Structure 1
């Protein structure tokens, strides 16, 4: 299965909607003092919230959350967990369809 990169901006809070696997996936990212956290919706239905984003760690992991695939951040310069200042450059968000099935 193909891995797709999701474009992000280097801002502390962002919300974006992207068409993936025939669904509209909404993603919110929020930088807190304890790390970067994600919330995910699929076709308007909330699936996950408060997920800590870590380097090369899948966010969804289970199909019963209702998402058609999974997301992970990759540190292109090492193995640090993502911080908003490097989003879209150092820290890349990838999506893989069917990864959590």
Structure 2
């Protein structure tokens, strides 16, 4: 399992290699919560997925992405917010999911 470094920003986008897959991840804080989007080799894999605690973000193997990502609350069972990214809320990549 890999922990992905995040910044405490309402909007952020970054490139990351996940299990040999070139990905671009975008996180966006909205009124209803934190949203996740990801492209792999410029192909959309997940778009505007609401980030929930310990819930997979990609979910569907037919999309061609190996593994999955999820957020975890280290202090309870709340859903992630940008202001505590990297401290209370961590983003993980599980290549075996």
TM-score > 0.5, shorter chain as reference? yes
Aligned residue in 2 for 1:32? 30
Alpha-carbon contact 1:73-1:93 (below 8 Å) kept: yes
Alpha-carbon contact 1:42-1:66 (below 8 Å) kept: no
Equivalenced residues, count: 97
Separation of aligned partners in 1, 2:96 and 2:40: 14
- What is the aligned counterpart of 1:65 among 63, 66, 70? 63
| Secondary structure of 2:52 counterpart | coil
Alpha-carbon contact 1:35-1:83 (below 8 Å) kept: yes
TM-score by length of 1: 0.92
- 5+ residue gaps, structure 1, are none
Aligned residue in 1 for 2:6? 8
Runs of 4+ in 1 over 2 A off after TM superposition: none
Separation of aligned partners in 2, 1:71 and 1:85: 20
| Secondary structure of 1:51 counterpart | strand
Query: What are the within-5 Å matches in structure 2 for residues 1-101 of structure 1?
Result: 3-99=1-97
Supply the RMSD in Å over aligned alpha carbons. Answer: 0.8
TM-score by length of 2: 0.96
- 5+ residue gaps, structure 2, are none
